[in-house]
């Protein structure tokens, strides 16, 4: 039977999920805190919370990318049905990053396993980083001891980007991929797409592929052409 490490290690981090491609506007203190954790300059984990498409997963994966083999990333939304055996043995890592914790909150077997993992990490000098859709006090954790332990983690609300920063975030993501996204094209996209960053980044992925195929730059006329050919446009 596969061990937890065997199950978790093959999970690939997204190639864009690094600190360099995350615009920290409104989250500067949090990003500094996470970088210090990833670089072994901070001996405390944390709890990140916010609504969807604000960058929680990106930040957890960025910690893992920076920390290398010291860290492991576990997306609980994808593996909750696999059972809590998934996290057995992870206390051997220095950093354990659990995404979407609310997906297993309220499930007794999962909560017992999380409680044991927290205690083992504390015993071995490891750190737990958690991301969830809500703050610790609002998370439906039924096991009092687990709720008490997790409430001791430093808590950060990941702030969504202001409208004025969305274009800059698109340009930064494009630059990380080796794309030149002019500011006027970024503004054009903001006016013709859903404004959440997940949708905007997905659109940028499509434009990247189309620009490569057509050997074109991301000018407004080219982007207008691509959008016009998309079924949802």
What pLDDT, on a 0 to 100 scale, did the predictor assign at position 102? Answer: 98
Longest dimension (CA), the chain: 59
The answer to whether the CB of 131 falls within 8 A of the CB of 60 is yes
Dihedral pair phi/psi, residue 74, rounded to 5°: -130, 110
Q: Tell me: do 134 and 178 sit in the same domain.
A: no
**pLDDT digit string (tens) for the chain, length 233 residues:** 334 444 444 456 777 899 999 999 999 999 999 999 999 998 889 999 999 999 999 999 999 999 999 999 999 999 999 999 999 999 999 999 999 999 999 999 999 999 999 999 999 999 999 999 999 999 999 999 999 999 999 999 999 999 889 999 999 999 998 899 999 999 999 998 887 888 899 999 999 999 999 999 999 999 999 999 887 54
Distance of CA 86 to the CA centre of its chain: 19
Cβ neighbors of 181 (< 8 A, separation 6 or more) are: 170, 171, 174, 175, 204, 218
Q: Tell me: do 191 and 82 sit in the same domain.
A: no
Domain count, the chain: 2
Place of tokens 């576990």: 74
DSSP 94: S
Spatial distance between the Cα atoms of 51 and 192, rounded to a whole number of angstroms: 23
pTM (2 d.p.): 0.89
Q: Tell me: do 143 and 124 sit in the same domain.
A: yes
What pLDDT, on a 0 to 100 scale, did the predictor assign at position 8? Answer: 43
The length of the chain, given as a count of residues = 233
Which of 78, 82, 81, 116 is CA-nearest to residue 98? 78
Q: Tell me: do 103 and 120 sit in the same domain.
A: yes
What pLDDT, on a 0 to 100 scale, did the predictor assign at position 164? Answer: 85
What pLDDT, on a 0 to 100 scale, did the predictor assign at position 11? Answer: 59
Q: Tell me: do 67 and 49 sit in the same domain.
A: yes
Of 128, 157, 186, the residue that ends a domain is: 157
Q: Tell me: do 148 and 174 sit in the same domain.
A: no
Q: Tell me: do 221 and 116 sit in the same domain.
A: no
Place of tokens 């504390």: 122
For the CA atoms of the chain, what is the radius of gyration?
Answer: 19
Dihedral pair phi/psi, residue 132, rounded to 5°: -150, 170
What pLDDT, on a 0 to 100 scale, did the predictor assign at position 4? Answer: 41
Q: What is the CATH number of the domain that holds 225?
A: 1.10.8.60
What pLDDT, on a 0 to 100 scale, did the predictor assign at position 7? Answer: 46
Of 157, 185, 200, the residue that ends a domain is: 157
Q: Tell me: do 15 and 68 sit in the same domain.
A: yes
CB atoms within 10 A of CB 204: 23
Q: Tell me: do 44 and 112 sit in the same domain.
A: yes
Q: Tell me: do 129 and 197 sit in the same domain.
A: no
The answer to whether the CB of 181 falls within 8 A of the CB of 211 is no
What pLDDT, on a 0 to 100 scale, did the predictor assign at position 121? Answer: 96
Spatial distance between the Cα atoms of 150 and 121, rounded to a whole number of angstroms: 12
Q: Tell me: do 138 and 62 sit in the same domain.
A: yes
Tokens (6 digits) for 191: 């006016």
Spatial distance between the Cα atoms of 138 and 133, rounded to a whole number of angstroms: 9
Place of tokens 């997204």: 14
Q: Tell me: do 190 and 96 sit in the same domain.
A: no
What pLDDT, on a 0 to 100 scale, did the predictor assign at position 195? Answer: 78
What pLDDT, on a 0 to 100 scale, did the predictor assign at position 163? Answer: 85
Of 125, 157, 189, the residue that ends a domain is: 157
What pLDDT, on a 0 to 100 scale, did the predictor assign at position 93? Answer: 95
**Residue 147 belongs to domain spanning:** 4-157
């Amino acid at each position: 039977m596969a061990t937890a490490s065997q199950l978790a290690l093959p999970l690939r981090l997204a190639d864009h999920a690094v600190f360099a491609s995350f615009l920290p506007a409104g989250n500067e203190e949090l990003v500094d805190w996470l970088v210090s954790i990833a670089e072994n300059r901070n001996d405390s984990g944390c709890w990140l919370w916010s609504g969807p498409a604000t960058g929680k997963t990106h930040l957890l994966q960025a910690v893992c990318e920076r920390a290398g083999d010291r860290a492991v990333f576990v997306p609980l939304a994808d593996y909750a049905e696999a059972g809590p055996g998934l996290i057995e043995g992870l206390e051997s890592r220095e950093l354990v990053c659990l995404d979407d914790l609310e997906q297993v909150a309220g499930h007794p077997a999962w909560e017992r396993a999380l409680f044991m993992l927290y205690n083992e990490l504390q015993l071995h000098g490891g750190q737990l980083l958690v991301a969830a859709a809500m703050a610790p006090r609002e998370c439906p954790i039924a096991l009092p001891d687990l709720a008490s332990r997790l409430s001791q983690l430093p808590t950060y609300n990941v702030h969504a980007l202001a409208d004025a920063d969305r274009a800059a975030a698109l340009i930064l993501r494009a630059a990380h991929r080796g794309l030149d996204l002019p500011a006027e094209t970024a503004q054009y996209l903001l006016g013709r797409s859903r404004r959440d960053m997940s949708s905007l980044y997905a659109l940028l992925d499509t434009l990247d592929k189309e620009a490569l195929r057509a050997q074109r730059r991301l000018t407004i006329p080219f982007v207008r052409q691509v959008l016009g050919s998309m079924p949802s446009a």
